[in-house]
Amino acid sequence: AQTVTQSQPEMSVQEAETVTLSCTYDTSENNYYLFWYKQPPSRQMILVIRQEAYKQQNATENRFSVNFQKAAKSFSLKISDSQLGDTAMYLCAWVDLPGNTGKLIFGQGTTLQVKP
Partner 1 sequence: GAVVSQHPSWVICKSGTSVKIECRSLDFQATTMFWYRQFPKQSLMLMATSNEGSKATYEQGVEKDKFLINHASLTLSTLTVTSAHPEDSSFYICSATRGSGEETQYFGPGTRLLVL
Q: Kindly tell me which residue out of 24, 50, 58, 74 binds partner 1, with binding defined by CB under 8 A.
A: 50
Binding status of residue 60 toward partner 1 by CB under 8 A = no
Which lies closer to partner 1 via its Cβ, residue 16 or residue 47?
47
Q: Kindly tell me which residue out of 2, 8, 87, 111 binds partner 1, with binding defined by CB under 8 A.
A: 111
Give the CA dihedral 75, 113, 40, 57, nearest 10 degrees.
-20
Task: State the minimum distance, in angstroms, from the CB of residue 20 to partner 1.
Answer: 19
CB neighbours of 114 closer than 8 A, spacing ≥ 6? 12, 13, 14, 15, 82, 83, 84, 85, 86, 87
Question: Rule CB under 8 A: which residues touch partner 1?
Answer: 33, 35, 37, 42-47, 50, 89, 91, 95, 97-99, 101-104, 106-109, 111
